[in-house]
A = this chain, B = another copy of it.
Amino acid sequence: LMMTMSSPFWSQIVAELTPYTPGEQPKSLSGETPLIKLNTNENPYPPSPAALKAIGAERGERLRLYPDPHSEQLKASISDYYHLSPDQVFIGNGSDEVLAHLFAALLKKPQPILFPDITYSFYPVYSQLYGIEYKTVALTERFEIDVEAYAQPNGGIIFPNPNAPTGLLLPLEAIERLLQQQLKYNPSSVVVMDEAYIDFGGVSAAALVDKYPNLLVVQTFSKSRSLAGLRVGFALGDRALIDALERVKNSFNSYPIDRLASAGAVAALEDEAYFQTCCKKIMTSRTDLAHALQVRGFEVLPSAANFLFVKPKHIPAQELTKRLRQVNIIVRHFKMARIEEFIRISIGTEAEMGALIKSLDQIA
C-alpha cells in the first residue's frame, strides 16, 4: 500500500500520525497447506452456537432499520453479567473504539498520562491522534508492572491486564493499591484497566467499579467470546466516566454497533457454559504449550492470556518468525527494544499446537 507523504488538503495532524499496524489478516486460511494463524490472539474455537443462532434470527427485513443508538439490550445483558447498572456500561465497535473514545474523553488532561514501556502499541497512537502527552514507566526486569512506580503526577494511567504482549497478570490486590494510590496523588485522573485477555485466568476489576470512581475497565467480545469478526467491546465504570464516553461517542457516530453484532453479543454472554468450556480448553493448551517450549529451551513468560510470550534459545526471534511463516504458521514478532528476542504465540487448538511444536522441532 503506497501512502502519500503529504498533501496541502490535509489537516495538520494527518502528516504527523504514525498509524497502528495490526497483525496480518490473510484472506483465507484454507489452501493446499492450511494456514495456522497464531498472530492476533483470536480464539481458535467458533462463537457460541447460541450467538450464531441469534444473528440468524436478526438477519432479515429489520436490517433496513437503524440499530438502537443506545444499545440498551446489550447494556442490560452486560450490566446483569457484572452485577452493575446499565448506566455503568459503555459499548463500542470493538474495544479499540472504546479505547479511542476514552483517550479523548478521559485521558486528555494537563498532566502526561502513564503506561508501561512494553504494552499495547496502540496507546502511543491514540495519544498522538488526540495530542495527549505520555510518559512510559519501565516494567521491572522480570517484565512486571511496579505499582509504586506510578505514584507520580499524571493525567491518567492505562495498561492491559494481563499486559500485552507479555501476558503477565497484575493481581487484584495490586490494582486496588494502585487505585488508592492514584486517588491520593492524582485525585482527578483515572486508571484504565484494559482487560481484553482477563477471561483466560485473571480476575476482572469489574468488581471494584462500585468502590472506585476513578476506575474504568475495558473488555471485548473478540477474544474469550470468539467474536473478533463482529466488533463489540465495552467499558465498565462510574456513571460520570460512562457519561463522558457517551458524550464523545454521540458527537462521533450515533450507531457504531450494528443489529447483528448486538444480537450475537447478547446471546454469547448468555451462553456461560460454552464460554467456560472454551476458556478452559485454551488455558489447558497454554499450560501444555508452555511446558513443551520450556523443554525445548525456550524462555516462557508466565501468561494469564490466550497467548505465550517466549524467547527461543537457538535462533533469533525474527528469524524464527520468518521460518514459521514459510511453513504456513503465523506468529507475531515486535521490533521493539527489550522484546525483540521474543515472539508472541496465540493459543490455538490442540492440533494447531501439535503442528507448531512439530515445525519448531524441524526448524531449530
Contacts and interface: CB of A to CB of B under 8 A. Distances in A.
Interface string A36-70: 01001011111100011001100111111111111
Contacts of A56: 56, 59
Interface stretch (A226-234, A269-277, A291-299): A226-234
A106 B13 CA distance: 10
A14 B247 contact: yes
Interface in A143-192: 187-190
Interface string A124-158: 01101100000000000000000000000000000
Interface in A10-49: 10-14, 17-22, 25, 27, 29, 37, 40, 42-47
Contact of A226 (B47, B64, B87, B226): B64
A107 interface: yes
A77 to B, nearest CB: 15
A27 B104 CA distance: 30
Interface residues of A, number: 97
Interface in A231-252: 231, 239-241, 243-244, 246-252
Given A63-B227, A126-B251, A9 B46 contact: no
Contacts of A188: 8-9
A286 interface: no
A18 B37 CA distance: 44
Interface string A301-323: 00000000000000000000000
Contacts of A27: 68, 72
A187 B254 contact: no
Contact of A10 (B93, B106, B231): B106
A93 B251 contact: no
B129 A252 contact: yes
Interface stretch (A199-207, A259-267, A356-364): A259-267
Contact of A11 (B14, B107, B243, B246): B107
Contact of A13 (B68, B72, B104): B104
Nearest to A73: B27
A251 B129 CA distance: 7
Contacts of A116: none
Nearest to A230: B258
Contacts of A246: 3, 19
A178 to B, nearest CB: 16
A228 B52 contact: no
Given A230-B259, A231-B255, A256-B256, 17 more contacts: A1-B87, A3-B243, A7-B240, A8-B188, A9-B241, A11-B108, A14-B247, A19-B251, A25-B67, A40-B66, A55-B59, A93-B93, A125-B251, A126-B252, A129-B252, A231-B256, A258-B260
Q: Can you list the 9 inter-chain pairs with the closest CB atoms, starting with the nearest?
A: A19-B250, A8-B188, A7-B240, A11-B108, A63-B229, A229-B259, A46-B61, A64-B226, A22-B254
